[in-house]
Amino acid sequence: MSRAKKSKGKRQSCGSGRSRPPYCNFAFCLTICCFLFLSCRQDMQNQPRYEPLEQSSFFNDGRSSRQLVAGTVPRGALRENIFQPAAKIGAGRGQIGQAATGQPANSQPGNNQAGNVSAPGAMPAGLNDFPMPVTAETLARGQEQYNISCTPCHGLLGYGDGMVVQRGFPRPPSYHTEQLRSSPNSHYYDVITNGFGRMWNYADQVEPDMRWAVIAYIRALQISQNARLDDVPQDQLKNLRTGGQTR
Amino acid sequence: MPQIFHHSTNTIARVSIFGAVFILAAIIWAAYEINGSSYVTQAFVPREQPVQFSHKHHVGDDGIDCRYCHTSVEKSSFAGIPPTKTCMNCHSQLFASSDYLAIVRDSWREDKPIVWKRVHDLPDYVYFNHSIHVKKGVGCSTCHGRVDLMPLVYQVASLQMDWCLTCHRNPEKFVRPRDQIYNMEWEPPPDQNTQGRKLVEQYSISNSIVLTRCSICHR
C-alpha cells in the first residue's frame, strides 16, 4: 500500500512541470544502480517453466512430463487415421483399414512364425496393399526413414548385414528370402509396430504413415534385388550396359 | 611554500594519464575476451555423463543416423534425447552384460530415466527452433561441430547472441543443400558464396533485416 503511494507521488513530481527537481536525477541514478543489482539474478535465464525433458523436483519420479495414466487414451489418438489400421486401436473397427485399401488380398496369410503378432484377426491379415497411393515421393520418404531406422541392422539393401550386426548383433533374416517376399504388408506393419523376436518395436521411432512408406521401400528393394534384364525399361537398357556411366 | 612534488612528477602524471587509456583499453579487451572465452561460455568443455555414451562409436564408427536417436529434430524445436528404450533396441542383445551399460539396464528395469547432463543450454529468454534450421539447409555440424568425432559431446560454439547473428546476417555463408544436413564431413565448397546465394533463394530464406529482428529470438 505504501509502495503504491510513493510511486504515485514520484510520478507527479517528475512528470509534470518543465524544470525537473534535482532529486529526479538522483532517482534516475538510483534506478540504474538497481538494474545493475538485478542483473546478477538468473530469473530470466531460468524461468519458472519446464523445458522438454527437464528434471522436476516437484514429482517423485523426477520427470516433468507426466506418464499417461493407465487406461487413458490421448485426445486425437482415436482419430480415424487411414495410416493407422483401426483394428490396432479399437476392437470392431477393422473395416477402416480394408475400406481404405479396397482391393482384396493377393497373397497367402502371413507366416505363422510371428509369435508376437497381436490377437488373431487384429490386423487386416493378408492385405498386400497400402492405405495410400505409392508414388515416387512415398518411396523417397520411405528410403530416408529406412536408412535411418532399419539400415543399422538390416543393411542398405536389406540383406541383414548392417553395421551393428557386424559388431555382434544377432543377424536378422534377409528381406529377399522367399518367405519374407511373400509375407503380406500387414506382417511388416506388425513387425515395426510390435517388434518381432529379438527385434524390438519401432512404434515410437517411426510414425504410422512412415511405416507404410518404409514398407513400400522394402518392396522396392525386394523387386530390385530380384530384377531381370527384361524388367528394365527399354530407354534405360543402354545405361545398364555402360554401367550407368553415360554422364 | 616549498614544492611538495619533484619536477619529474609532471612527466609521470602525463605518462600515467596517457597510460590510463591503454590500461582502460586492456581492461575492456580482457573483459571482452573473458566473456567470449570457454570459461564463461563452456564451449569445448566436455561434460561427464552418467553413461559413457560415445557419439564417436555410435555415429563415427557405426554410422547410425542422428535421427535414429534425435527423432524430433526435423519436426520440433527440441531435437529430442533418446529414451532408454532406444538404447535397449540394440543393447538388449549387444554388450548385454557390459558394466558400462549397467545404468542403462537399471533404468530400463526400474523405469527410471537416465539423467543426462545438459551440454547446450540457451537462456530461457531465447527462443530457438531446430526444425526451421534443418528445413532451411543449416546442417548439424555447422552449429555442433564434428559430433561424430566426440567421445563426449561438447559445445563448439559460444551460443552467444553474436554467434547467432553472424549467421542470421549472412546465412548464405553457411547454408548447404538439404541432402547434406546430416553429413558431418560437409565443408563449404570454394564457391560457397554463389552456391549459398542460390540456396538462400531456393529455400526462400528471409533477408537479414527480418532475421535480426529482436522478436525472432526474444519472443
Task: Report the pLDDT value the prediction gives residue A147, as an integer from 0 to 100.
Answer: 95
Residues of B in contact with A52 (CB under 8 A): 78, 80
Contact call for A200 and B89, based on CB within 8 A: yes
How many CA atoms does the CB half-sphere of A238 hold within 13 Å?
A: 3
The answer to whether residues B123 and B214 touch, using CB atoms and an 8 Å cutoff, is no
Quick one: DSSP state of residue B172? G
The residues, ordered by sequence, that sit 6+ positions from B10 with a Cβ below 8 Å of its Cβ are none
Residue A176 to chain B, least CA–CA distance (Å):
23
Q: What is the DSSP string of A168-235?
A: TPPPPPPTTSHHHHHS-HHHHHHHHHH-BTTBPP-TTTS-HHHHHHHHHHHHHHHHHHT--GGGS-HH
Q: Verify whether the Cβ–Cβ distance B62 to A163 is below 8 Å.
A: yes
Residues of B in contact with A209 (CB under 8 A): none
Is there a contact between A44 and B125 if contact means CB atoms under 8 Å apart?
Answer: yes
Nearest CA of chain A to the CA of B208: how many Å? 26
10-residue stretch averages of pLDDT, chain A, 247 residues long: 39 47 69 61 83 88 86 70 49 32 34 33 55 90 96 94 93 94 90 93 90 94 87 80 61
Among B88, B123, B124, whose Cβ lies nearest the Cβ of A200? B88
Interchain contact, B90 vs A152, CB within 8 Å: yes
Q: What pTM did the predictor assign?
A: 0.85
Which member of B62, B112, B125 has the closest CB to residue A164? B62
Pick from A63, A167, A202: which is nearest to B94 by CB? A167
Could you tell me which chain A residue has the CA closest to the CA of B89?
Answer: A200
Kind and range of the H or E element at B163? helix B161-169
The pLDDT value given to residue A38: 52
ipTM field? 0.85
Could you give the CA distance from residue B48 to residue B138 in angstroms, rounded to a whole number? 28
Helix (H, G, I), strand (E, B) or coil at B51: coil
Can you list the domains of chain A with their CATH numbers? 77-107+114-228 (1.10.760.10)
Given an 8 Å threshold on Cβ–Cβ distance, is B124 in contact with A45?
yes
Chain A hits for B97, Cβ within 8 Å: none
Q: At CA B128, angle to CA B217 and CA B195, rounded to 5?
A: 90
pLDDT at residue A78 in the model? 63
pLDDT at position B181 over 70: yes
3-state secondary structure of A103: coil
| Residue B112 in contact with partner chain A when CB distance is under 8 A | yes
Interface membership of B124 toward A (CB under 8 Å): yes
The per-residue pLDDT for A133 is 86
Cell match 543426462: residue?
Answer: B116
